[in-house]
Amino acid sequence: MDKLIITAALTGAEVTRAQQPALPITPEEIADAAYACAQAGAAMVHVHARMPDGTPTQDKDMYRQIIAEVKKRCNVIVQVSTGGAVGMTPQERLAPVTLQPEMATLSMGTVNFGDDVFMNPPAEMALFAATMRNHGVKPELEIFDSGMLSTAQRWLQKGLLTGPQHFDFVLGIPGGMAGTPEALLYLRSQLPAGSTWTVAGIGPAQLPLGTLAILLGGHVRVGFEDNVYYRKGELAASNAQLVARIARISRELDRDLATPDEARVLLGLH
């Protein structure tokens, strides 16, 4: 089995300081959290930018600062969000891709998102894919429901996506596919040959699905974007605490952790 790539989704667009007092917001806080997660075993960070008051933003300069601050501290792969927050325009969402980060997320379809709708019409997503290709940015394909994986398969056949792809199964969003082992096993069974995959279990699904992914040879995403709790009723102290736990479980299960450079090789970033 390949070594495990742990991604820390540090901030997201929805979680507030009221919900999680340790949420990193400024570029310095995000970079400090990235460093702590790297020390705990993360090879990648998935980042969203916020304004100083906590409002989500896709401002290019804010992402530039985040990337620079992370790079000052450590060598983790920085993956920027192009999901941003519900309601942002495609142009806003794409802004950080022009900074040529190593990776960026690419949502593969529209999904109900709690009481909102996270809009990802095919023509806009094709533009996102083309922009990433033109800037040499590897996408991580965000799969919120099984039809999105079928879309990825069609796009591979049509040449809108080329080469081995990296998938993120985001499971447990209200409106998306359930955060269950059955859902994960089904999606894994439908993956195009040669793909790599990770799982982002939402809320209480984070720990069980992460553990299952370790056993199945997938990779794992943890962090406050998806889950603010350490266990039921107890907030996590930091993103790094969530990384440290999944790292510990992986080592106990005899699966070593990928360093950032090893993850770059596994993901074909070189």
Is 110 a binding residue for ligand KMH by CB under 6 A? The answer is no
From the CB of 12, what's the least distance to Zn ion, in Å? 5
Q: Which stretch binds ligand KMH (CB under 6 A): 79-87, 95-103, 151-159, 175-183?
A: 79-87
Is 263 a binding residue for ligand KMH by CB under 6 A? The answer is no
Q: How far apart are the first and last CA of the chain?
A: 21
218 closest CA partner among 185, 242, 249: 185
Tokens encoding 111 = 């999904």
Q: Which of 86, 119, 156, 216 binds ligand KMH (CB under 6 A)?
A: 86
Q: Which of 83, 179, 210, 223 binds ligand KMH (CB under 6 A)?
A: 83
Is 7 a binding residue for Zn ion by CB under 5 A? The answer is no
Is 63 a binding residue for ligand KMH by CB under 6 A? The answer is no
Q: Which stretch binds Zn ion (CB under 5 A): 23-31, 73-81, 173-181, 241-249?
A: 73-81
Is 196 a binding residue for ligand KMH by CB under 6 A? The answer is no
HSE (CB half, 13 Å, CA atoms) of 223?
Answer: 31
Angle between helices 122-134 and 146-158 (to 10 degrees): 60
Cα–Cα dist 62/60, whole Å:
5
Residues 207-219 as b/e (b if ≥16 CB within 10 A, e otherwise) read bebbbbbbeeebb
Q: Are 253 and 214 within 8 A, CB to CB?
A: yes
Q: Which stretch binds ligand KMH (CB under 6 A): 20-28, 105-113, 120-128, 261-269?
A: 105-113
| Dihedral (CA of 50, 55, 58, 60) sign | negative
Give how far Cα 216 sits from Cα of 238, 240, 245, 265, 267, Å: 27, 23, 18, 20, 17
Q: Which of 7, 11, 58, 107 binds ligand KMH (CB under 6 A)?
A: 107
Is 172 a binding residue for ligand KMH by CB under 6 A? The answer is no
Residue 113, binding choice from ligand KMH, Zn ion, none, Cβ under 5 to 8 Å by partner class: ligand KMH
The footprint of Zn ion on residues 81-100 (CB under 5 A) is: 81
Is 107 a binding residue for Zn ion by CB under 5 A? The answer is no
Q: What are the residues binding ligand KMH (CB under 6 A)?
A: 12-14, 81-83, 85-86, 105, 107, 113, 118, 142
